[in-house]
Amino acid sequence: MKLPAQVTVVEVGPRDGLQNEPFFLETGLKAELINCLIEAGFKRIEATSFVRPEWIPQLRDAEEVLKLVGRPPGVRLSALVPNLKGYQRAVSSGIAEINMVVSASELHNRKNVNRSIEESLRDFARIAGAARGDGILVRGSVAVSFGCPYQGGVDPGKVIGLASALWDMGCCEVVLADTIGCANPVQVYRVVSAVLEKIPGICLAAHFHDTRGMGLANVLAALQAGVAVFDSSIGGLGGCPYAPGAPGNIATEDLVNMLAAMDVETGIDLTRVIKCADRLQRKGEKRLR
C-alpha cells in the first residue's frame, strides 16, 4: 500500500467545530482550546471565522479570541472569510492565512453565502489579489465536492473546474470538502485522482465528515490517491449550519491515532490531544447544565 511518510493535520475544531454548537463558548475558553492544541503539536489551526455575527453568533468574538492566542514560530493560524469586509477584519487581527469557501452546487452556495458561484469566485479573486499584496496565504475550499444536501450528486467536472479556478487565483492549497459526509472511498479516490491529473502541481487537501461512518475510510482512499493534508476537528465536533445532515467532522484523535498506527508521521502528541478533547468536553457539559 502506497502511503506518504508524513501528513499534515489541520485542526478546524475552533472554527468549523464550534460554529455548529448550540451554545456560545466563552472567549477565554476558545483561546484556551487553541493554546492547548498548539501545545499538542499542531502547526496549522483554523482559529475562527470573520462572518457577520448574526450569521454565526458562536464566533462573534473572532478578534477577541485572536488577541488571547499565542503564536509561536512555525504555527499558522487561519480564519474563514466570506467577503472583502471579513478579509479586512482578518488582516486587522494579524491572521497568517485565510480560507475562502465556494460550493460545487449552486443551491448550496446560495444557501451558504447568499450569492452565486460566479459572484463568489469574482469576490475571491479580488480578495486573493489583496492577500498577495499583504503577504497573507490563501486557502481555497470546494464545499459539497462529493454530494449536496439540496441537489444530490455533484459533477466531478464541476469540482475540477472550481479547484482549478481557486488554484489559478493564487490559493496555496485547495481543499475538497465532503461537507455532508456522503462520500465513499471509491468515489473519493476517483475524484481526487481526477483533480490531481487535470491540475498538475496543485496542493490538494481533504476535509471529511463522519456522518455515515466512512470518514477514516475516505481518508485512506485520499491518502492512496496522493493527498497528504487533512482537516479534522477535536472531539469530532462540527457541521455546517447550511448543510442539513452534516453532524460532525472526522475526530482529530481518531485520525492521528490511525495515522500513527500506519507509521505515518504527524508531529502531534495524541495523549495531549485527548487531554484537550477531555477538557473541552468538561467545559461543554458544564456550560449546558
Residues identified as active-site = 240
Q: For residues 123 and 68, what is the distance between their CA atoms, to the nearest angstrom?
A: 30
How many other CB atoms sit within 10 Å of the CB of residue 213?
Answer: 8
Rg for the chain, CA atoms, rounded: 17
d(CA 287, CA 289): 6
* DSSP SS3 for 243: coil
Could you identify the residue written with the cell 444557501? 111
Q: Residue by residue, what is the 3-state secondary structure of 244-288?
A: CCCCCECEHHHHHHHHHHCCCECCCCHHHHHHHHHHHHHHHHHHH
The C-alpha angle with vertex 183 and arms to 178 and 187, in degrees rounded to 5, equals 115
Residue 20 near residue 235 (C-beta atoms within 8 A): no
Residue 244: all three cell numbers together: 442539513
Cα 289 from Cα 275, distance rounded (Å): 21
**How far apart are the C-alpha atoms of 163 and 105, rounded to whole Å?**
13
Could you give the 3-state DSSP secondary structure of residue 68? Answer: coil
Whether 236 and 201 have beta carbons less than 8 Å apart is answered as no
Residue 46 burial by CB count (10 A; 0-12/13-18/19+): exposed, middle or buried? buried
